Amino acid sequence: MEKKANISVLIPQDEVEAKIRELAEQISRDHEGETLHLICILKGGAYFMTELSKYMTIPVTVGFMSLSSYGSGTESSGIVKITKDLDDNIEGRHVMVVEDIIDTGNTLSYLIDMLKTRKPASVELCTLLNKPERRVKEVQVDYYGFIVPDKFIVGYGLDWDQKYRNLPYIGAVDFE
Ligand code: IMP
Ligand code: MG
């Protein structure tokens, strides 16, 4: 049998759900009169984006993108490859990137600069989790759910070796 990781609950399910509803209401108020194009960063952002968009009261459209970041081991390097690009043209549209976590900032600083070259009307970033202690590249985070400590986080889209994305709470892996 495969060894199971020890995971402790960092943010319980009801708190995550309440925060996502709060974020959705805030974003809807701030974008009154606009149609927002949500760009989900796969795979981690999918859980957060579907939940977030359900509670938004302005018109939204959705798109998906997949990125891979080359680095040594677990550290992202800032060299980012687009493995699945958007299907839609974003020129002139109000865009919001929806991500699971901003850690070093390498991935998103690259992505935001790249999206800007496609001339959207605006680009914002909304992340469920923010780990500012680990930031290497500056990224403007317009909306976030929670600040998390420098621990290895799983659940609500975040994986450890592709597992645990489906946990309905935010957990931290205890490495003994
Ligand atoms: P970056 O370091 O900000 O470029 O983050 C790159 C990606 O690493 C994030 O989008 C996550 O998918 C992943 N990541 C960063 N921190 C964690 C973590 O604590 N748990 C699981 N995945 C993480
Ligand atoms: Mg990710």
Q: Which ligand is nearest to the CA of 77?
A: 1
Nearest to 120 by CA among 129, 111, 108, 131: 111
Cβ–ligand 1 contact at 100 (below 6 Å):
yes
> Which DSSP category does 32 fall into?
T
Residue 2 is predicted with a pLDDT of: 63
Cβ–ligand 1 contact at 155 (below 6 Å):
no
Whether 146 has a pLDDT exceeding 90, the answer reads: yes
Nearest to 121 by CA among 33, 23, 24, 29: 33
pLDDT digits (tens, 9 = 90+) for 15-56: 999 999 999 999 999 999 999 999 999 999 999 999 999 999
Cβ–ligand 1 contact at 130 (below 6 Å):
no
pTM higher than 0.85 = yes
**Ion ligand 2: residue ranges with CB closer than 5 A:** 44
Q: Which ligand is nearest to the CA of 129?
A: 1
Cβ–ligand 1 contact at 128 (below 6 Å):
no
pLDDT digits (tens, 9 = 90+) for 81-137: 999 999 999 999 999 999 999 999 999 999 999 999 999 999 999 999 999 999 999
Catalytic residue check, 174 = no
Give the span between the Cα atoms of 109 and 12, in whole angstroms.
Answer: 29
The amino acid occupying position 142 is D
Q: How confident is the model at residue 68 (pLDDT cuts 50, 70, 90)?
A: confident
